[in-house]
Chain A
């Protein structure tokens, strides 16, 4: 079995190398049979990597401790559902899993486009295969997943208990799907640059891939935050840790890209910028893998200091030099056909939104690599923590929130004073009103007041868009208001799905801001039967219990929670001591409502039953997760294949073919 896994990887290296050569030669020399052969080789790579993955999963399922990886990440007692998690619990497995997704996506893109975009496709195959060569080389030469142990242990070390969690089952796959999906649009961009087909064909073709990439990257970030919130027990969900930043940066540039392509599609502008964004986004996904895998920057995730760093950096440099080289080569043809007309226009709102997103990405990158930079330049190791990121990204994000309300509503080309008053009078009034209301309620934090005010502004513009759209249909088509409202989604999924996403993002803004500004955190040491109060909650420490089995020892406290003297719930925060590997862990318990989360950590519990609790009240944090759900729905609407769009696409293709024939 192991021999099969190794052989499959060696062959995958050969087939992916061949795929690059055959597709590039076939495309440049216009030899169709070579293009076809290259695609077949890419399909073969996929098959081979699948075989290797099956061998690995099989070994994980059957406790084959002769394999070092299996011995390190599983044990005979590990439940089956976590055996899949073990596939991405370690470096070798996660690189293998990554390669599997990459080659699957390459095959999917090839299959999707088997009769379309024949001019661009060889380059997509070649680009994706180049990335595959890199990852397969790592697996073959540097981190062999099927490395054997000379003396296999009877029992494995087992998967880190922190990873034996529901969110850890879905967080890494979501993140990897998000990272890897960007390869396909990047491949199309390279194809456009090489062939000189620089119209918006590559953008339209790869739009759904971008949406998917963006969607999974968002989910990956959210799942990770949720995991941190539930498992790590420090009351928060985002710590600006290098690994979190690594996943956050491509999401920012990707968001910028999804917006700026709309300008290119409508106005034929910002071509160089769009190329830059897609290249940066793809490069950041590779950089993200580098950060998580190399251990160059110390993080609480404390990865292994592997020797992979230089290889990743070389690959990254190659990507940047090659792609920006191509952009420079095509610079003249990428010149815009139109100019920006006015600062007060949708085009410039989009431009500024882009700059802010890229600014946040840049600040995040700067803060992440600052320790390395300062050591290089000045020889002193200086690091910046969460305060840095909050200080820089806070104001930029608030400005972005404001633009989120402006962008979709302001007139194209040039907004007149009349337009501005018509579109923005009510939202502005509502925003100011909500800000003032917040102030009257006792809010004194400027950022909180601004976020409340801007959120109301954005929600109002979105509502106005829906309302005016529906009203237009009522008068023109004669539908009822409700039918018209639903009809809007069908008529222009992309636009109205996008608005739904905006609503989700506003909820997230509110959740994040309020839970950071108005978080209450208290430490209480109490005896059994004693009470303590935090916010509007009174907690009574009623009992403690000890449990001990072969898997772990647990200390469990029982806390009755009262609000206005009414018992509302009972919480059971725990302290755990896992036995294999030996490791203590905190098991948070919380009561989550739309208004706030009561989040309790058991700090310590001594023999006499005296317990220390760290309790938090996190206001509105529920809305962060709910915003995520809204975002999922919105993306679903925006990306769902519609008959009308397919028809339009076909019509466009036919007309292109006719033109070519004429």
Chain B
């Protein structure tokens, strides 16, 4: 009985550790996947969290300073419900272009400009050729 108890304890500790790690890590690393409209909606608060905002690059808004690898552009809602000014420092992603769908990632802020830590373009499709509409 005592021996079995030891094993139950040992297994319990591992299971609990895994559970604990998963639980806390989700809490600390979670990112809200939202649209531009959701970001701008004052009813939502993502304070203290990272957000991933999906939208498209507004035509004519891209200012790229190659010498400093500094990018500024306007991210528009896919359904035209608002715009966000985005600032990013780093390499221009390969597929980045005006009117393209992009996802920006960064800490939620109430400032006028969103500081992106990552700008993701939808990758070239791997399994299906792009269908021309």
Contact = CB atoms under 8 A, between A and B. Distances in A.
Interface stretch (A19-27, A118-126, A606-614): A606-614
A340 B7 contact: yes
Contact of B14 (A160, A163, A302, A359): A359
B95 A387 contact: no
Contacts of A352: 10, 14
A162 B26 contact: no
Q: Which of B7, B25, B68, B95 has the most CB of A within 10 A?
A: B25
A291 to B, nearest CB: 12
A340 B124 CA distance: 53
A355 B11 contact: yes
Contact of B127 (A91, A380, A586, A610): A91
B66 interface: yes
Interface in B70-122: 90-92, 94-95, 120, 122
Contacts of B130: 157, 581
A523 B92 CA distance: 12
Interface in B49-72: 52, 66-69
Interface string A562-583: 0000000000000000000101
Contact of A359 (B6, B10, B18): B18
Nearest to A388: B29
Q: Which of B28, B67, B126, B127 has the most CB of A within 10 A?
A: B127
Q: Which of B14, B18, B32 has the most CB of A within 10 A?
A: B18
A414 B96 CA distance: 61
Contacts, number: 142
Contacts of A363: 18, 21-22
Per DSSP, chain B at the interface is mixed
A370 B120 CA distance: 20
Contact of B95 (A343, A584, A614): A584
A385 B129 contact: no
Contacts of A367: 22, 26
A359 B22 CA distance: 10
B123 interface: yes
A135 interface: no
A73 interface: yes
Contacts of A392: 18, 21-22, 25
Given A523-B69, A604-B66, A163 B29 contact: no
A341 B6 CA distance: 11
B124 A583 contact: yes
Contact of B34 (A302, A356, A381, A396): A381
B21 A603 contact: no
B31 interface: yes
Interface in B5-57: 6-7, 10-11, 14-15, 17-18, 21-22, 24-26, 28-34, 52
A586 B31 CA distance: 28
Nearest to B32: A382
B67 A162 contact: no
A612 B126 contact: no
Contacts of A162: 124, 126
Interface in A353-409: 355-356, 359, 362-363, 366-367, 370-371, 380-385, 387-388, 391-392, 395-396
B126 A163 contact: yes
Contact of A585 (B11, B69, B94): B94
Contacts of A303: 125-128
Contact of B91 (A370, A385, A604): A604
B123 A396 contact: no
Interface of A: 72-73, 89-91, 94, 157, 160, 162-163, 292-293, 300-304, 339-343, 348, 351-352, 355-356, 359, 362-363, 366-367, 370-371, 380-385, 387-388, 391-392, 395-396, 523, 525, 581, 583-586, 601, 603-604, 606, 610, 612, 614
Interface of B: 3, 6-7, 10-11, 14-15, 17-18, 21-22, 24-26, 28-34, 52, 66-69, 90-92, 94-95, 120, 122-130
For the complex of A and B, 9 pairs with smallest distance between CB atoms: A304-B128, A359-B18, A72-B129, A603-B91, A381-B33, A391-B25, A388-B29, A387-B29, A392-B21
